[in-house]
Amino acid sequence: MYEMNFDPRKGKGSFRKEITAKTETTWSSEFTGLQKRESLICSQLERYEKLEKKLLETKELAELAREENDEQLMGVVQEDGMQLYAEVKDLTLKSLMSDEGDTNGCIIQINPGAGGDESCDWAGMLFNMYERWARKNEFTVTTLDYISGDIAGCKSASIQIDGNYAYGWCKKESGVHRLVRISPFDSQRRRHTSFASVKVFPVVKEDDKDSAIDSIPSSDLRIDFYRSSGPGGQHVNTTDSAVRITHLPTGIVVQCQNGRSQYGNKAFAMTMLRSRLYDRLLRERNATKEAFYSSLPDNAWGSQIRSYVLHPYQLIKDLRTGYETSQTELVLEQGELEGFLKACLSHFCPSKN
């Protein structure tokens, strides 16, 4: 994919000329990518121009209020200034989500590490945290797969979050998350440490479908049907409704047993498989960023990206960005992740890499 050095002062006409010049010698797939990038940048440019116009109007209004010594008018200026600041901040964050796939929805896959019931419970807490964050921000949430733990939490879970920029917001959540707390499963009330891994993949949009993703030969797939495990009702546990799909060329394995029918579970599993293949395609197209997208470290000590300490003190800290908060309940129970997500966007800004 070509890198476009876009200057908003030159306007949309200049960018479209660059698009035309570049695509005359490119392949059709690259041309499609450039068209999508043009649409995204032109949309951001329109917001930029509106904000620039609003800034000039606010400055003129402020000068008038100062000259007239009008306190009421100055109050209006302050309100406009606060709104303008919020809009500029939002546009700045959106401009950091410029990689291919950032505007897509995402699939978040959560797996507990070693630790039995403790880790399963922690994986379930993470699942709830991401679900609450998504619903609070008015994304559409679909549970693709959820295998309940023996006592609490889950043995594995996959959740799909649909909406603009869902993947852009969540993609840096991939990694190992560590919890320290007094165990609710320990009669002696001792402190325990649990781990869970989180992997985030972009959802494939209709206009993103590559031929290798959209049309997967049946010969490349091994599809196994088996009986669902865990609670879920009489029908779920007495029929072979669960589906496991293995993509033979890559070795990628996905599974789904959340639904009651083979057809529904197979459809969800194929959605996850296409998402995994699309993520693989993006990694190949962005070889220079392979360090981030490489295999996640072990679910154990020294490999975590974020620590959630609930005892002896309360602190959640991202070990990559340094961002931290003591408001642990807001994060875990209400999905208040904005501070961590924004810190990651700024920390991993392309201009810093």
Whole-number Å distance between alpha carbons of 223 and 255 = 10
Ranges assigned E (strand) in the chain: 106-112, 140-148, 154-162, 175-182, 191-202, 221-226, 242-247, 252-256, 304-309, 315-318, 324-325
Query: What is the residue type of 347?
Result: H
DSSP letter at 251 equals: T
pLDDT at site 322? 96
Q: Name the pairing type of β-strands 304-309 and 315-318.
A: antiparallel
pLDDT computed for residue 334 by the predictor: 95
Q: What angle do CA 168, 173, 176 make, to 5 degrees?
A: 160
Q: How far apart (Å, rounded) are the C-alpha atoms in residues 325 and 66? A: 40
Q: To which H or E segment does residue 10 belong?
A: none
Alpha-carbon gap, residue 39 to 20, rounded angstroms: 14
**Helical pair 11-23 and 28-68, crossing angle rounded to 10 deg:** 170
Tell me the backbone φ, ψ of residue 234, rounded to 5 degrees: -60, -45
Question: Contact, 324 vs 315, CB < 8 A?
Answer: yes
Picking from 344, 345, 327, the residue whose alpha carbon sits closest to that of residue 336 is 327
Question: Among 143, 134, 136, which Cα is nearest to 163's?
Answer: 134
Which distant-in-sequence residues (6+ apart) come within 8 Å of 352 by Cβ? none
Question: What residue type is assigned to position 46 of the chain?
Answer: E
Kind of pairing, strands 252-256 and 304-309?
unpaired
For residue 202, the cross-strand partners are 106
Mean pLDDT, each 10-residue run in order, the chain (353 residues): 48 56 49 65 81 89 88 89 86 81 92 89 97 96 91 93 94 95 88 94 72 75 82 53 91 86 88 89 68 51 84 95 96 96 85 50
Report pLDDT for 217: 87
CA distance 164 to 45: 17
Contact 190, 130 (CB under 8 A): no
